[in-house]
Amino acid sequence: MADPRQLVPGTDRVLADPEVAAAAGRLGHRLVKHAVHAAQERARAGEISPGRIVAETLAALPESASSIRPVLNATGVLLHTNLGRAPLSDAAIHALHQAAGTTNVELDLHTGRRGPRGAAAVAALLAAVPRAEAAHVVNNGAAALVLAATALAQDREIVLARGEMVEIGDGFRIPELLTATGARLREVGTTNRVRLDDYRSALGPDTGFVLKVHPSNFVITGFTSSVPVAALRELGVPVVADIGSGLLHPHPALPREPDATTALSDGADLVIASGDKLLGGPQAGLLLGGAEIVHRLRRHPLARALRVDKLTLAALEATLRGPSTPTAQRLRQDRADLLRRAERLADLLTAAGIPASARRSEATVGGGGAPDVALPSAAVALPDRFAKLLREGRPPVLARIERDRCLLDLAALAPEHDELLHRAVLAVA
């Protein structure tokens, strides 16, 4: 009797299968060949039949050559840091595709000579915030603060309120970030209260600038006082305002969230913000302010190390010039609409034998923005065992557990995602 292992097809034969060959073209020869070898070993061990090798190879392959996979955000956190914060608009996604090949990122097509990098994105930013005389873009908000501290206060002092010496996530702290640049910190006030005279008494010949940091991921209430940018402007030294979340203009749903336009109107010399939060764009650090101070930052040697790539510039410009972003759309949702969507999904799941119900819920902004704002939302409630099943499904769905129930909050999901969410639940049920 022939050895069954002799029936295992050779590697070249499996790789020649049309579906396997197509996968190799999409994912790379090495990755697919490894999957073929693994399937062959399973066949030799008797775990699968030789005729199943092609199917098992295809089943073992990832959806793309990247390990980053699309995830449905049903957590109720609009800007979830672990999920990449702001989803990009269709205009920004299209701009990414256009920028993926060779581009005119540093070429003036009219003259044929080298052109200014990122000029169009900067122009779009200035058009969005007319109060700014100039703007510069780096790779994230922390990088923007590092560049400002290095260029304006290296070997000098930064005056900062104690209540604004915050930790920005993953153990990174503003004081340590600033002192790593060679600047010295001059702390003023107490944890809960600071006055204008506290700042005034701390100023001296070594003062580089006064820093106003928005404590965006927590709220201190009660016996508190702080000094607004407009008052700090009276001190006669540069004022840098780190507003954090990237709001360019006041927003009716976020009345206490600082914005770039207001900060500049109040007299800030430089405003620092993020691109991938409330602005709804790619990860970027935005610096807006007076022409002279922004020029100093742009010409500093560190600016080269912090510059953004062509993909970020393309997506940022499209975000600023294009239609309303998904983040902006989610912020103006009506709870009644969300509840109707939740009820429809719950009815469909119940009809399929899955215990589901619709309920009111509360969502949050996330991404270090508006920590005291609860956004009216709606969710589909399932047994808590669904949380793990959905997280490991295809596509992965990230929910939240609340009172021993798995909640699929719809606040961060566009209506066109409802059918995908419905199929994801059915697939794991």
Look at residues 264, 297, 323 and tell me which one is the last residue of a structural domain. Answer: 323
Q: In angstroms, rounded to a whole number, what is the distance separating the alpha carbons of residues 82 and 75?
A: 11
Same domain membership, residue 390 and residue 249: no
Helix (H), strand (E), coil (C) string for 412-429 = CCCHHHHHHHHHHHHHHC
Residues 6+ apart with CB under 8 A from 426: 349, 352, 354
HSE-up of residue 274 (Cα within 13 Å, Cβ side): 22
Same domain membership, residue 10 and residue 147: no
Same domain membership, residue 371 and residue 346: yes
Task: Write the DSSP symbol of residue 10.
Answer: P
Here the tokens at position 414 are 């566009």
Residue 173: inside a domain: yes
Residue 162: inside a domain: yes
Q: In angstroms, rounded to a whole number, what is the distance separating the alpha carbons of residues 108 and 38?
A: 51
Same domain membership, residue 287 and residue 141: yes
Contact 86, 369 (CB under 8 A): no
Residue 303: inside a domain: yes
* CATH code, 337: 3.90.1150.180
* CATH code, 233: 3.40.640.10
Same domain membership, residue 249 and residue 110: yes
Same domain membership, residue 217 and residue 333: no
Q: Which helix (H) or strand (E) holds 340?
A: helix 335-351
Count of residues making up the chain:
429
What is the amino acid identity at position 328? A
Q: Report the phi/psi class of residue 251: left, alpha or beta, with left for phi > 0 and alpha for psi in -120 to 50.
A: beta
Contact 140, 170 (CB under 8 A): no
Residue 344: inside a domain: yes
Same domain membership, residue 334 and residue 304: no
Total tally of structural domains belonging to the chain: 3
pLDDT of the residue at 372: 81
Residue by residue, pLDDT tens for the chain (429 residues) are 456 667 899 999 999 999 999 999 999 999 999 999 999 999 998 899 999 999 999 999 988 888 899 999 999 999 999 999 999 999 999 999 999 999 999 999 999 999 899 999 999 999 999 999 999 999 999 999 999 999 999 999 999 999 998 887 777 788 999 999 999 999 999 989 999 999 999 999 999 999 999 886 677 778 889 999 999 999 999 999 999 888 999 999 999 899 999 999 999 999 999 999 999 999 999 999 999 999 999 999 999 999 999 999 999 999 999 999 999 999 999 999 999 999 999 999 999 999 999 999 999 999 878 888 899 999 999 999 999 999 999 899 999 999 999 999 999 999 999 999 999 999 999
pLDDT of the residue at 5: 67
Q: Which helix (H) or strand (E) holds 272?
A: strand 270-274
Here the tokens at position 247 are 């709001």
Residue 67: inside a domain: no
pLDDT of the residue at 63: 86
> What angle separates helix 29-44 from helix 53-60, to the nearest 10 degrees?
130
Residue 98: inside a domain: yes
Residue 65: inside a domain: no
Using CB atoms within 10 A of its CB, is residue 351 exposed (0-12), middle (13-18) or buried (19+)? exposed
Same domain membership, residue 363 and residue 315: no
First-to-last C-alpha distance (Å) of the chain:
44
Residue 413: inside a domain: yes
Q: How far, in Å, are 46, 74, 236, 345 from residue 336 at the CA level?
A: 56, 18, 50, 14
* CA dihedral for 202, 204, 206, 207, sign (positive or negative): positive
Same domain membership, residue 300 and residue 405: no
Same domain membership, residue 232 and residue 336: no
Structural domain that includes position 339:
72-83+329-428
pTM of the entire predicted model:
0.91
Task: Write the DSSP symbol of residue 290.
Answer: -
Contact 178, 185 (CB under 8 A): yes
Look at residues 291, 323, 355 and tell me which one is the last residue of a structural domain. Answer: 323
Same domain membership, residue 159 and residue 98: yes
Question: What radius of gyration do the chain's Cα atoms show?
Answer: 26
Same domain membership, residue 118 and residue 153: yes
Residues 6+ apart with CB under 8 A from 9: 40, 50, 53
Q: In angstroms, rounded to a whole number, what is the distance separating the alpha carbons of residues 76 and 364?
A: 6
Helix, strand or coil for residue 69? coil
pLDDT of the residue at 32: 96
Look at residues 285, 302, 323 and tell me which one is the last residue of a structural domain. Answer: 323
